[in-house]
């Protein structure tokens, strides 16, 4: 498949090289190799850095929201916990995969353009 966007493929959890094969073999485990094109996905794995990034990204608005609710409405602390803790978890887990996919795809796109500069394409 030519002309696909590697970043969109990564966002959708697809191989950035062909946009066809699945990028993940587990929840956050990157597949060794693309089933569709055989691209070495393990080499492009961005590691666990994005996970920390996602937790910060999802955590900050939630912590601010929780603090705001606390000061504005002064609810009992368990109300804050019951509302915001699941939200933080859902947001974190919901964003982790697409974000990891995008970062991996960005790394892939970067390498691809470097290869082109070397005249290997």
- The residues binding Zn ion (CB under 5 A) are 15, 17-18, 21, 34, 36-37, 39
15 contacts 37 by C-beta, under 8 angstroms = yes
Q: Which is nearer to Zn ion, 18 or 99 (CB)?
A: 18
Look up residue 12 and give its DSSP letter: T
- For the residues of 68-102, what is the DSSP string, one character each? HHHHHH---HHHHHHHHHHHHHHHHHHHHHHHHHH
* Rounded least distance, CB 8 to Zn ion, Å: 14
Q: Which is nearer to Zn ion, 39 or 108 (CB)?
A: 39
Cβ neighbours of 57 (radius 10 Å):
15
Look up residue 114 and give its two tokens: 């470097």
Q: Which is nearer to Zn ion, 54 or 103 (CB)?
A: 103
Question: Token match 């995008």: residue?
Answer: 102
* Rounded least distance, CB 114 to Zn ion, Å: 19
* Rounded least distance, CB 10 to Zn ion, Å: 11
Q: Which is nearer to Zn ion, 44 or 58 (CB)?
A: 44
* Rounded least distance, CB 74 to Zn ion, Å: 53
């Amino acid at each position: 498949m030519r002309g696909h966007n590697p970043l969109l493929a990564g966002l959708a959890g697809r191989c950035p090289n062909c946009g066809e094969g699945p990028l993940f073999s587990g929840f956050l485990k990157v597949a060794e190799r693309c089933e569709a094109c055989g691209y070495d996905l393990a080499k492009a794995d961005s590691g666990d850095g994005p996970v920390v990034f996602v937790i910060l990204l999802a955590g900050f608005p939630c912590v601010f929201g929780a603090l705001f609710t606390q000061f504005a409405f002064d609810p009992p602390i368990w109300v804050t916990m019951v509302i915001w803790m699941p939200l933080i978890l859902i947001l974190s887990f919901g964003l982790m995969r697409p974000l990891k996919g995008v970062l991996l795809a960005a790394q892939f796109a970067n390498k691809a353009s470097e290869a082109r500069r070397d005249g290997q394409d």
